Structure 1
């Protein structure tokens, strides 16, 4: 009886020590997270401050004088409206490319055709080639086609990618083939199977790829800078780089531009984070 009581006491002590460790770990991680968030919060708040308040000593975290002048100046005098339009066009076409990647992944996963494995290995092999290596050949091809300095030339090379095809293929390989066969017996076309059966099942990987696609399109910098000579085709990242060079001493404008670039990515990630966690959970169970 005494041994049972001692065992219960030992288990209770271990449980208390475990909860104490969790509390301490949580407090440390929370403090660390706040330290990491502080620069982003200060950047966002500084974008709403006048220039004299940003450089004053001691600095203020919350704006004493709230103003939208920095954002108004960006859109009225720095063509940020045009940069935003171009960036949204690139993002929209990137999501079209997302569907193309999903369709290719579905084809590799569920269709048995001659040379499928060899073609898939060839697609994977392109992942080993750095994008910087292919920029000059792609530029020469587009120049021959007369697509340089055009929006088509900006969005066309990034429509599909080996990494996206690989992720969709790996996920869609787990979709039960019996389910697809039963749908075919009911008279469903291949397009309907893909759009109404496979894509809804692939929601977790679609969410992850949507975030990656949005971030890649939203932050597109090097390729638009290379392919476009007209400032009317520049993106937000290129505009932010121009802002840093032309207004290096104006911290308010730089903070506003950086905030405008970072905020949508944070909001999108916050909205889709549950799908990312769900995808990791599904991958762990497999």
Structure 2
């Protein structure tokens, strides 16, 4: 009789455990479903302007000014993307933007790595004060200095050239800060050991330091390229011909009052968004890893 009671109790416990397990799984499934639905809603809200631009760029001009609210085009007009290259030298604009963005990104990588090395590894008298002054420049909006910079490059005769688009942005306080924060994870003894072995400062940077800072390089490269690609105000002031005009300026100049130009301008906007999206999609892991890898020292 006692044995039967124990078996019944064990069966009851097993059934209760299975019931609790099923309830837990059901609760977890509901939570995941709710979280997925919330994420999808956020994605739709965030991506809606981009999706709307793509939809508008595929519409016929006659569908722009209508009383009906139609998100999707009646007939896909892929010819809009072909026509935008016919009415404007969009290919030249894209080439100019690539030249400017790549040159600025490379310049910021080199200058940021050298400056951050000097601030962290070289014991310069007043180095912390100099670094604080560099960081203070991040609090000055670009609009506050754009007129003085324009007058300066105008006196030098740099207007409407690649150098006026590239040289003022070859260094960045943000880049220096990111590299320096990442370098803090390396002990000073690493630099001292390299110096004892006869390694020069330049050799230490390019042969030892940079290969160990790939996450920081990825973050700086993605951030620098996207910022350089999306520049608007400075190229608008200093570029006056199609030979040096960037894609952001070229696309904005296609806008007018007629529906045909609006459709083509939106097609140009979608085209100039593609490089930024591609860089961000493939470089987002490096961007996030580089932003946070230097936040913990050790």
TM-score (norm 2): 0.81
Kindly indicate whether the alpha-carbon contact (under 8 Å) linking 1:49 and 1:64 is maintained by their aligned counterparts in 2.
Answer: yes
Pick from 224, 237, 257: which aligns with 1:226? 237
Which stretch shows the higher mean deviation, 82-91 or 28-37? 28-37
Paired residue for 1:130? 141
Which stretch shows the higher mean deviation, 158-167 or 275-284? 275-284
Paired residue for 2:171? 160
Paired residue for 1:121? 132
Paired residue for 1:178? 189
Change (3 A) 1:81 1:246: farther
How many residue pairs end up in the alignment? Answer: 283
Paired residue for 1:23? 33
Pick from 209, 213, 233: which aligns with 1:198? 209
Cα distance in 1 for partners of 2:114, 2:27 equals: 51
- Which residues in structure 2 correspond to 1:43-82 (within 5 Å)? 43-44=53-54, 46-48=56-58, 50-52=60-62, 59=70, 61=72, 64-65=75-76, 67=78, 69-82=79-92
Gaps of at least 5 residues in structure 1 are none
- Cα deviation, 1:105-128, whole Å, max 9, x if unaligned, reads 121121112221121121112222
Cα distance in 2 for partners of 1:246, 1:199 equals: 51
Shift of 1:268: 0.9
Cα distance in 2 for partners of 1:19, 1:277 equals: 29
Task: Say if 2:95 is the partner of 1:85.
Answer: yes
Change (3 A) 1:142 1:281: closer
* RMSD, aligned CA: 3.1
- Which residues in structure 2 correspond to 1:209-224 (within 5 Å)? 209-224=220-235
Cα distance in 1 for partners of 2:164, 2:87 equals: 27
Pick from 141, 148, 151: which aligns with 2:152? 141
Q: Decide which structure has the larger Cα Rg and report it.
A: 2
Change (3 A) 1:85 1:178: same
- Which residues in structure 2 correspond to 1:89-108 (within 5 Å)? 89-98=99-108, 99-108=110-119
Kindly indicate whether the alpha-carbon contact (under 8 Å) linking 2:104 and 2:169 is maintained by their aligned counterparts in 1.
Answer: yes
Cα distance in 2 for partners of 1:256, 1:193 equals: 47
Gaps of at least 5 residues in structure 2 are 1-8
Kindly indicate whether the alpha-carbon contact (under 8 Å) linking 1:243 and 1:254 is maintained by their aligned counterparts in 2.
Answer: yes
Cα distance in 2 for partners of 1:94, 1:53 equals: 41
Kindly indicate whether the alpha-carbon contact (under 8 Å) linking 1:110 and 1:173 is maintained by their aligned counterparts in 2.
Answer: no
For the residue of structure 1 that corresponds to 2:157, the secondary structure is: coil
Which stretch shows the higher mean deviation, 161-170 or 184-193? 184-193
For the residue of structure 2 that corresponds to 1:32, the secondary structure is: helix
For the residue of structure 2 that corresponds to 1:233, the secondary structure is: coil
Shift of 1:15: 6.5
Change (3 A) 1:268 1:77: same
TM-score (norm 1): 0.84
Shift of 1:63: 7.7
